[in-house]
Structure 1
Amino acid sequence: MTPTHAPAGHPSIPPAKTGILIANLGTPDGYDYWSMRRYLNQFLSDKRVIDIPNWKWQPLLQGIILTKRPFSSGKNYKLIWNEELNESPLLTITKAQTEALRARAHAEWGDQVMVEFCMRYGNPSTQEVLERMVAAGCRRIVFLPLYPQYAGATSATANDELFRALMKQTWQPAVRTVEPYVNRPDYIKALAGSVRRALNGEVPKKLVASYHGMPKRYLMQGDPYHCQCQKTSRLLKEELGWPDGIIDTTFQSVFGREEWLRPYTVEHVAELARQGHTEIAVISPAFASDCIETLEEINGEIRESFEEAGGHEFTYIPCLNEDPAHIEVMLNVVRDNIAGWVR
């Protein structure tokens, strides 16, 4: 529409609204070599993920890693690929989460809000979605990276990408970035509910809470991720009413030669089996959506490590995904951050 009192020829301006933009990690467009190479190149070139100087890292990345790894990663993605929709499970789930959140947000705020999602790596890109939201009239945006625990390699890099996209806007919207929701009671209750359902209310002898790993060096530099993961496990134990010693906090997806946060999940589950814990459950509280790290790594490599060491029963508890309790958490987080922007 043309603004009131605007001179003749003034460009049309859409009615102002508030945007809700959720961000997930990302996904390749396919599991073929070139799709995997593009995705891995973007992911592994991120300084928040790999902070080795370019002169040392890029020759290794471009000359060796990106020559071989797209083949092995592609095979793993093929095992879990949603062939019906020709997309990764992460994309399928993020779409479902967005649709559910959109329905709840529109029921509460009507056409005052616009709900979209973007990916830090791959498509739809943060820049592409931000441009679409601005063009649709979003003058204010609540930005929600789907990471309960803060880490430089997750929450911060998602914010970085948003800020880079904002730099290209002639008319920048106001933006509120959401803080970690690690200790929100509704998030902890949603996690506990998923555990109770998966285990039929029974208390296991061991529940392994497996979080994505990071170099130990990042912790020593001040990244709060490790502490927030420990807090999640503690709060989950308290919400479930379980005694100490049942939940073990571990870290997966180790990459490279330096020491990462320990214990490593793949080693820990094998040690549990050798100690006689032949029945365990595993949950991944750091992931808002099931993805390659949960559907293939946990249910593949980590399960195999447990079984090869003598384990018999391995129960994987899915991520919260589009569970109504999870959507309620997301909506509550948005409510807290959208205050004063909508009626």
Structure 2
Amino acid sequence: MLDAKSGATIADVDASTDAAAVNAKSHLPGDHPAVMPAKVGILVANLGTPDNYDYWSMRRYLNEFLSDRRVIDYSPFIWQPLLQLVILSKRPFSSGEAYKSIWNHDAGESPLMTITKAQTAKLKDSLAARFGDNVVVDFCMRYGNPSTKSKVQALIDQGCRKILFFPLYPHYAGATSATANDAFFRALMTQKWQPDSRTVPAYYENSTYIDALAQSVERSYALMETKPDVLVCSYHGVPKRYLMEGDPYHCQCQKTTRLLKERLGWADDKIVTTFQSRFGPEEWLKPYTVEEVARLAEHGKKRIAVIAPAFSADCIETLEEINEEIRESFEEGGGEHFTYIPCLNDDDAHINALTEVIETNLKGWID
């Protein structure tokens, strides 16, 4: 934008001054809209969470989630009647009970919300130590609140002329990373003056991330008198068809397991890759975690540990599905000792890994 009187561009403005001083320094007309100092925004994104576990909160959340064509890509003419008339009349009750069992009642929010807030707070401190107040860090959710659109607007309102969007998924999948990016791009479509933007790619093979995973395993194993027979790396599943259509998620998960095994210095038979959270009638990536843990127990593996490398924060799929449903399957198969190793959450090693990924993707914008 060019001022006709002075020839000064808004980009020439000293970012250290406030909006009023910016207008004065650039000799903008007095009635010109206030121009904020230019900053860089970092917006981290997680999957999402219902506002509460009551029926209507769950229904709103599930409707948004299950209506996403990246998540369920069946024809809406077939899927939407089934979703609205059958699934959403029943599932909010069962999902609500599951959320209730893990809910952070003191804070009045889901564990995913509590953890994402803690991660964001630590990232703010970490990045402020490196870049000062030239960066603004915030978080959003792909589904539910706070929405991606609202947080993009909040960053722009704070003067962010560049935004780095960071889906907190170590592995790329169309149903996770891509749909988060879609929401970000849609938010930019509503802006008169779009900020420069970048999206952070998958970081499944980042050595600092792998090391953080390994440290969490080592800490957990150090507390046990008898070590598990097998470590199960349980990743969220997707339909097998997605792999055949070019989605790289399966291959990236397999590589994370291999790199973790090599970092730990383990033999091949000490670690396995499985996939959980199957939904619908078609075949998903195998082996299914719930079946594999039962098979391991039946074949004499009486002690196992389970870790979920694809989740950056503990949520319903880890705290309820792994720690309850999958644990139960293992014990019914004859297993005796089941250990769930929590997600990296706001562990300092995890924050260091996320900070490193962010710094790499900020190169050329701020150094």
TM-score, length-normalised on structure 1? 0.99
TM superposition shift of 1:341: 1.6
Can you list the C-alpha shifts for 1:1-31, whole angstroms capped at 9, x where unaligned? 2431212211111111000110000000000
What secondary structure, in the 3-state scheme, does the structure 1 residue paired with 2:60 have?
Answer: helix
- 1:24 and 1:115 map into 2 onto residues whose CA distance is 14
1:141 to 141, 163, 168: 163
Residue 211 (structure 1) aligned to one of 235, 251, 255: 235
The corresponding residue for 2:192 is 170
Report the Cα offset of residue 309 of structure 1. Answer: 1.2
Aligned to 1:270: 294
**Is residue 242 of structure 1 aligned with residue 272 of structure 2?**
no
1:296 partner amino acid: E
Query: SS at 1:331's partner residue?
Result: helix
1:37 counterpart = 2:40: no
Residue type matched to 1:149 in 2?
Answer: H
Query: Corresponding residue for 2:87?
Result: 65
Equivalent residue number for residue 252 of structure 1:
276
Of 4, 13, 31 in structure 2, the residue corresponding to residue 9 of structure 1 is 31
| Residue pair 2:229, 2:302 contacting (<8 A) in 1 also | no
Letter in 2 for 1:318: P
What's the CA shift for 1:201? 7.6
C-alpha displacement at 1:342, in angstroms? 2.1
Query: Following the alignment from structure 1 to structure 2, what is the Cα–Cα distance between the partners of residues 256 and 7?
Result: 60
Question: Conserved in 1, the CA contact under 8 Å of 2:303 and 2:337?
Answer: yes
Which position in structure 2 is the counterpart of 1:154?
176
Unaligned runs of 5+ in 2: 1-18
Amino acid at match of 1:170: K
Report matched runs for 1:263-302 at 5 Å. Answer: 263-302=287-326
Deviations 1:26-84 (CA, angstroms, capped at 9, x unpaired): 00000000000000000000000000011000000000000000000000000000000
Residue in structure 2 matched with residue 183 of structure 1 by the alignment: 205
Residue in 2 aligned with 1:19? 41
CA RMSD of aligned residues (A): 0.9
> Which amino acid counterpart does residue 172 of structure 2 have in structure 1?
Y
Percent identity of equivalent pairs: 65
The TM-score with structure 2 as length reference comes to 0.92
Which amino acid in the other structure matches residue 194 of structure 2? Q
Deviation at residue 171 of structure 1 after TM alignment: 1.0
Residue 317 of structure 1: which of 319, 341, 349 is its match? 341
Q: Deviations over 1:59-113 (max 9, x none)?
A: 0000000000000000000000000000000000000000000011111111100
Measured in 1, the distance between the counterparts of 2:175 and 2:30 equals 49
CA deviations over 1:295-335 (Å, ceiling 9, x no partner): 00000100000111111100000000000000001110110
1:82-121 to structure 2, matched below 5 A, reads 82-121=104-143
Q: Distance in 1 between matches of 2:81 and 2:109?
A: 31
Q: How far did 1:205 drift?
A: 1.6
SS in structure 1 at match of 2:37: coil
Distance, in Å, in 1 between the alignment partners of 2:364 and 2:170 is 24
Structure scoring higher RCO (CA < 8 A, sep ≥ 6) equals 1
Letter of the structure 1 residue corresponding to residue 38 of structure 2 = A
Alpha-carbon separation, structure 2, partners of 1:175 and 1:198: 39
Runs of 4+ in 1 over 2 A off after TM superposition: 201-204
User: 1: distance between equivalents of 2:304 and 2:366?
Assistant: 46
The structural deviation recorded for 1:245 is: 1.2
How many angstroms apart in 2 are the aligned matches of 1:275 and 1:224?
31
- Aligned-partner SS, 2:328: helix
Per-residue CA distance 1:207-238 (angstroms, 9 max, x = gap): 10000000000000000000000000000000
Q: Partner residue of 2:4?
A: none
Gap regions ≥5 residues in structure 1: none
| Separation (CA, whole Å) in 2 of partners of 1:332 and 1:71 | 41
Task: Name the larger-Rg structure.
Answer: 2
In 2: Cα distance, 1:201 partner to 1:244 partner: 23
Code of the residue aligned with 2:149 in structure 1: it is Q
Secondary structure of 2:80's counterpart equals helix
Equivalent pairs, count = 343
Which residue number corresponds to residue 9 of structure 2? none
